[in-house]
Structure 1
Amino acid sequence: MEPVNLFDLAARQSQWLAVRQSAIASNIANASTPGYTANDVEPFEKVLDRAAVTLAATQTGHLGAETTNAGFNVKPEDPDGAIMPSKNTVVLEQELMKAGDVRRSFELNTAIVKAFHSMMTMVVKS
């Protein structure tokens, strides 16, 4: 078993967020393209479920869990019955909400990495 590296996990999530941001930007850019199908990336939780990272209990009272992280699949979105007059499935309001989620996730990821980096440097200095 390998140790779970928080910095590696944060880097993988940043990569996933960049791929999702690109898919959202493509959807917005093609909002008026006739017949365009909106795309999205599978949730990061599913990416983690496929990877070979496992958490282990260090003591008998601790909980164990299994998580994984692998590649990112961009797939067409479920149209949910919303088809625009141009016969495409892009709903700008939904895409802008997703873009906001990506921004908040990037900020959270960065804040967590910054906090752990500070803790690591404090330990090394002492």
Structure 2
Amino acid sequence: MFTDLKILHTASLLARHSAQRHGQIAENIANADTPGYKAKDLEPFAEAFAKSERAQMDARTSGFAEQAFQARKIDIGGVASPDGNTVSLEDQMPRSTAAVRDHGTALTVYSKALAMMRATLGQRG
């Protein structure tokens, strides 16, 4: 009956992506005063997810093992300070807020899907 719960898998990947993204943002902020540091972010979840799905389809057709979901780091760019650092705290704060929002969305989807399964099975929770 519940053999392929794609929504739970997708919510789990979104939660992992947003946690990794938040970690990268924290690294950027920690290095805001490091000379020559280049600010980075993760590629958007939609792009990483689509790439992962294509890789899994290719793996199934070729017989190779499935590829794990992996979002690559990308350079943000931006204006460098005189010491070559490209971290802008004003840019990092909205990115951090978006990562927290995405993580909350993933957890909400996950908990609602579990609640629906419990309701289907006749359990209260």
TM-score, scaled to structure 1: 0.77
Tell me the distance in 1 between the aligned counterparts of 2:34 and 2:105: 34
TM-score, scaled to structure 2: 0.78
What's 1:104 paired with?
Answer: 101
- Cα drift, residue 7 of structure 1: 0.7
**Pairwise CA RMSD:** 1.9
Tell me the distance in 2 between the aligned counterparts of 1:50 and 1:87: 32
Q: Helix, strand or coil for the counterpart of 1:21?
A: helix
Q: 2:120 matched to 1:123?
A: yes
Tell me the distance in 2 between the aligned counterparts of 1:28 and 1:86: 16
Matches within 5 A, 1:16-55: 16-52=17-53
Higher helix share: 2
- 1:10-57 Cα offsets, whole Å, 9 max, x none, are 11111111111111000000001111000110111111221237xxxx
Tell me the distance in 2 between the aligned counterparts of 1:110 and 1:12: 11
Identity of aligned residues (%): 26
What's 2:81 paired with?
Answer: 84
Query: How many residue pairs get matched?
Result: 108
Q: Quick one: higher RCO (CA 8 Å, sep 6+), 1 or 2? A: 2
Q: Helix, strand or coil for the counterpart of 1:17?
A: helix
Tell me the distance in 1 between the aligned counterparts of 2:16 and 2:104: 14
Task: List runs of 5+ in structure 1 lacking aligned partners.
Answer: 54-68
